[in-house]
Amino acid sequence: MIRTENLTKVYRMGEVEVQALRDVNLEIQDGEFIAIIGPSGSGKSTLLNMIGCLDKPTSGAVLIDDINTGKLSENELAEIRREKIGFIFQQFNLIHTLNALENVALPIFFAGVRREKRLKRAEEQLVKVGLEDRIYHKPSEMSGGEQQRVAIARALSNDPEIVIGDEPTGNVDTEAGNAIMDILEGLNREGRTIIVVTHDADIAARAGRTKRMRDGKVLD
Amino acid sequence: MIDKFLMAYRSIRERRARSILTVLGIVVGIAAIVSLMSVGYGMEEAITGELTAMADLISVMPGKITGATYVELGGFTDRDVKDLQRIGGIKDISAMTYDAVEVEYRNKRAPIFVFGGDTKELEGFYVEPVGLKEGRWLRENDYKGCVIGDRVANDFFDEVIQVNDKLIINGEKFIVVGVFEKASTLYAADVDPHIFLTLRASKEVLQTDEVKYIMVRVYDIDEAEEIAEEIMEVINDNHGLDDFATAMTMGSMIELMGDIFNIIRGVLVGIAAIALIVASIGIMNTMLMSVMERTHEIGVMKAIGAKSRDVLSLFLLESSMVSLVGGVLGCGLGVIVAKGLSFVASMASGLEIEAIVKPEVILGGIAVAMIVGVLSGFYPARKASKMSPVEAVRYG
């Protein structure tokens, strides 16, 4: 279970303080598929970064399975990101010098798994997202939809409980977007918690629950 | 681990031109160190080697050496030579004399230093290392024969002097029986501008009984210093002066040379070190640029679970691979340059200088390259590892 308690994040942009999140209290149950929607600047991505342990709150707390992530060291946070969470970005964020297989294997590499085992696991993930014929392709040789599927395979490579998508369909066409949502639904059916940020109402409609954000607050 | 190497290698290859330039910087730095040191050792070896071959020799001069200048205070007498013969441990003594006199060849005159001494001793001392170009060396009964240095033969007169030509030395006729080869640096000043006679002939020509130089050979090299002290005492007593004679062993000359070479080597290494510092700034610059360019990539790696340590080690590996390659190539180039330099130095000096590539210099060169790589890669790598994932991902 993921819970935020009075989660607040303040950014400093020069002299101006920007309140990205204000006292957000949100509970996400294990195995839930939740979509967070809202206009840009409403704090959706900031919230995802907090839940995904990429950033630390100014005040308040994020608890993942009752562990207060704010109290963890950098290394412990890296471990949570690696083992518990799979992150999917709008811009795919693949490493362009590595091919699909190596990109997917990267988180397993950081986990210290042996090469053979690692590549086998990575290959399985690529097969799972339907890219068995793109294994040795570089990101630049693939379409946006394919790249995003590689990114999903990468997010799944350490078998995380939670998959977080920051506008995962934002940079692909409708068809590819639907394919991506199909995959995410499948992951949800496997029992994984799926959290996506989107401003596409159709995409949001496929989630089990939708939360709307505005001005750093979650609306009820 | 293999994969880390692979990743580092890929990112080096990704920036091929810049990586090559960085490697080149290290190569030049290391090659400079290796080659300069190897040539330095070679030079030292060549010179001390020649001196060591004469280690049983003590040179006795009637004068003082202060710093690099020799001031002649007079000449030795026959009595001095006789007294030296009473000192124990001496194998043989050979007295020599020299002076500048007027020499005439085909109606041209020039002042030239004439050298006279025991023909056997002179042969061992000059003929063996330098060699004769024409003719033969003096015999003890060659009262009217002379052997001339290369410059005497070729430079001092309008016409080149050859064997069987006649010279008039201080009014007396002599026949040239031999001509020396052009001497190496070590001997050039002693041989090239001189005319050599037997001791008896030189005493006549120079009209003196004075001895200007005594060469003493000892049986036991370890006793050389003691014997040298004794020689000075005996001669100083004869002349009633405190420091009239200077007796120098080859050992003390080798020591003197060693000191000089340490200084030379220090200067050479200093120059090479500057090259290396420039190269290490190059590595740091390359790595900093690489970090900046890959800010986004670093953010992504951290977002998918890389620890700071993982990022740090990746970047350190990259910089140390660059510098290792640079180090190895630098050593290779250094050896080649050393061979080339020693060849040029041999040609220029006439000494046989062979670059000495010591294994510890090679290992040291590679080690220095690695240290430079790790040190100059550390700051950029640390900077990369400290980046916040959110900000890094957002970058670019």
pLDDT along chain A (220 residues), means of 10: 94 88 94 93 91 92 93 92 93 90 92 90 94 94 94 94 93 91 94 92 89 90
Q: Which one of B208, B223, B244 terminates a domain?
A: B244
Q: Do A70 and A76 touch, CB atoms closer than 8 A?
A: no
Establish if A17 belongs to a structural domain: no
Establish if A131 belongs to a structural domain: yes
Establish if B56 belongs to a structural domain: no
- Examine the domain organization and report whether B99 and B165 are in the same domain: yes
Q: Which one of B210, B244, B278 terminates a domain?
A: B244
Q: For residue B396, what pLDDT is reported? A: 62
Residues A92 and A81: their CA atoms lie apart, in Å, by 17
Give the closest residue to A169 by CA, choosing from A142, A145, A205: A145
- Domain of residue A163: give its range: 31-56+71-219
Contact B305 A78 (CB under 8 A): yes
Work out how many CB contacts closer than 8 A connect A with B.
67
- Examine the domain organization and report whether B16 and B78 are in the same domain: no
Establish if B58 belongs to a structural domain: no
- Examine the domain organization and report whether B288 and B357 are in the same domain: yes
Contact A109 B3 (CB under 8 A): yes
- Examine the domain organization and report whether B278 and B375 are in the same domain: yes
Residue B134 CA, chain-centre distance (Å), reads 30
Please report the ipTM that was assigned to this predicted complex. 0.91
Establish if A125 belongs to a structural domain: yes
Here the CATH number for the domain that contains residue A120 is: 3.40.50.300
- Examine the domain organization and report whether B236 and B217 are in the same domain: yes
What are the backbone angles phi and psi of residue A57, rounded to the nearest 5°? Answer: -70, 155
**pLDDT under 50: residue ranges of chain B:** none
B215 strand-pairing partners? B59, B94
Q: For residue A152, what pLDDT is reported? A: 95
- Examine the domain organization and report whether B289 and B353 are in the same domain: yes
Residues B212 and A204: their CA atoms lie apart, in Å, by 111
- Examine the domain organization and report whether B164 and B184 are in the same domain: yes
Contact A97 B2 (CB under 8 A): no
Establish if A18 belongs to a structural domain: no
Window 295-334 of B, Cβ < 8 Å to A: 296-297, 300-310
- Domain of residue B289: give its range: 2-51+255-394
Judged by phi (left if over 0) then psi (alpha if -120 to 50, else beta), residue B174 lies in beta
Establish if B250 belongs to a structural domain: no
Which amino acid is residue B168, in one-letter code? I
Q: Which one of B225, B244, B263 terminates a domain?
A: B244
Residues of B in contact with A78 (CB under 8 A): 302, 305-308
Establish if A5 belongs to a structural domain: no
Contact A97 B11 (CB under 8 A): yes
Q: For residue A165, what pLDDT is reported? A: 94
Q: What angle do CA B240, B246, B250 make, to 5 degrees?
A: 155
Contact B303 A158 (CB under 8 A): no
Q: Residue for token digits 């030239």?
A: B112
Q: For residue B6, what pLDDT is reported? A: 79
- Examine the domain organization and report whether B163 and B187 are in the same domain: yes
The residue in chain A having the minimum alpha-carbon distance to the alpha carbon of residue B2 is: A115
Residues of B in contact with A79 (CB under 8 A): 305, 307
Contact B297 A106 (CB under 8 A): no
pLDDT tens-digit series, residues B244-286 = 888 888 777 777 777 777 888 788 888 878 877 887 888 788 8
Establish if B249 belongs to a structural domain: no
Q: For residue B290, what pLDDT is reported? A: 80
Sequence-separated (6 or more) residues with CB below 8 Å from residue B124: none
Establish if A129 belongs to a structural domain: yes
DSSP state of B124: I
* Number of neighbouring beta carbons within 10 Å of residue B259: 10
Window 168-207 of A, Cβ < 8 Å to B: none
Nearest to B306 among A54, A78, A87 (CB): A78
- Examine the domain organization and report whether B196 and B221 are in the same domain: yes
- Examine the domain organization and report whether B38 and B157 are in the same domain: no
Looking at the complex, does the CB of residue A106 fall below 8 Å from at least one CB of chain B? yes
Give first-to-last CA distance, chain B, whole Å.
29
Looking at the complex, does the CB of residue A82 fall below 8 Å from at least one CB of chain B? yes
The residue in chain B having the minimum alpha-carbon distance to the alpha carbon of residue A152 is: B304
| CA atoms B166, B168, B172, B176: torsion sign | negative
Contact B304 A81 (CB under 8 A): yes
Total domains in chain A come to 1
- Examine the domain organization and report whether B334 and B373 are in the same domain: yes
Which amino acid is residue A189, in one-letter code? R
Residues B396 and B384: their CA atoms lie apart, in Å, by 15
- Examine the domain organization and report whether B163 and B280 are in the same domain: no
Total domains in chain B come to 2
Establish if A127 belongs to a structural domain: yes
